[in-house]
Amino acid sequence: MKKKTKVRQSMRQGGGQGSVPLPARRATLAGVALVLLYTALISSADAITKFVSGSFAAPQLYVLSGALVASFCLGAEWLKSGRDGMVEAMRTSRPVEMGIRATATVVASVCYFYAFKLLGFAEVFVFIGLMPIFAGLMSGPILGEKVSLAVWFALGAGFIGVVCLFPDGIHAVSAGHLIAFGATASGTLSMVMARRISQHESNALAQVFWPNATLAVVMALALPFVCRPMGLHDLFWIAAYAGFLFFARWVLVIALRLLAAYVVTPLMNLQFVWMVILGALIFGESTAANVFLGSAIVIGSGLYLIYDQLARGGIVRVGGYKTIAAVDERDEPVAAAE
């Protein structure tokens, strides 16, 4: 009764029963801002991946970057909390889910590396447009999140927008396309598992540490077969890649604690805008009118899903608690705490 009374008071402060409390709105908007930051960081990392893939094999990039990112996690906790903090950064109460996330991350990283090597930016990112669909399919059995029919329509619109971003249309299926498809499927699984883990624990750094440590170990096994000499400038780019990736994944894990997976994934499609800019400036790619049209459709579907979450409340995390800022089937506001 006390919990229900507190929730009712919170809802009255936020505008009355049926409206979304102010803390929930702030958490949602904070999640949106974090996803936007993530798109800038991950697009920069992807540009470096495409650059490096022209000269080296995947293990040379990932054994170094994976080890660096894992070291960044430990270093951040050491600076914050000392040696005990380093141990805490590696601790997880969900080892099985973390293992699935780490494995999916390894598969996705390798697949994206060779997808960027074999395909252009536009061709690779048209497959990333499938992530909201995959996330919607996975969120049901893995997260127990109910996706409404209206949301599915929005996701479909976002997918159409992504297709528009493919300048020359979809060509015959090739090995590069199959690899990109596998990258998207495994990458979405990793992201959805991150949200599942976040439902039970708040240690974001562990979700960055273990996938990257696993990536470094697996790539180290293959490194002797593909290793080539690298100059200082090559090492610089790999270090820059690790830095972008570290902050991108850290930001994404936090965003997934604030927003539902089916809201995060359409927003992630905004990285197309970054790729248009980076593709033109770095790789000399031209941007056709259909690319801008597709961008507008993708952004529109993402904004609709933000509105949908704000209107329905959704599940957001405020002050370390998981709050349902809507009413349940009994027409009574409820709140669940971990």
- For 199-247, how does the pLDDT look when each residue is reduced to its tens digit (9 = 90+)? 888 777 788 889 989 999 999 999 999 888 888 988 899 889 888 988 8
User: What is the token pair recorded at 265?
Assistant: 């994934």
pLDDT digits over 121-158, tens only?
766 777 777 777 777 778 878 888 777 676 677 778 87
Place of tokens 């800022």: 325
> 56-93 burial by CB neighbour count: b if 16+ within 10 A, else e?
bbbbbbbbbbbbbbbbbbbebbeeeeeeeebeebbebe
CB 108 within 8 A of CB 186: yes
- Please give the Cα distance from 216 to 95 (Å, whole number): 18
- Please give the Cα distance from 24 to 314 (Å, whole number): 9
Backbone angles phi, psi at 307, to 5 degrees: -60, -40
Report pLDDT for 270. Answer: 76
**3-class SS of residue 189:** helix
CB 169 within 8 A of CB 220: no
CA neighbor of 19 nearest in space, from 329, 325, 336: 325
Report pLDDT for 338. Answer: 31
Give Cα separations from 315 to 73, 142, 266, 324 (angstroms): 28, 15, 17, 5
**3-class SS of residue 323:** strand
Report pLDDT for 309. Answer: 65
Report pLDDT for 224. Answer: 92
- Please give the Cα distance from 219 to 119 (Å, whole number): 22
CA neighbor of 210 nearest in space, from 123, 93, 98: 98
CA neighbor of 327 nearest in space, from 11, 51, 90: 11
**3-class SS of residue 17:** coil
- Please give the Cα distance from 294 to 166 (Å, whole number): 8
Give Cα separations from 304 to 150, 191, 226, 297, 318 (angstroms): 10, 21, 46, 11, 22
Report pLDDT for 111. Answer: 95
pTM of model > 0.85: no
Report pLDDT for 323. Answer: 34
Instruction: Tell me which residues of the chain have a pLDDT lower than 50.
Output: 3, 6-18, 314-338
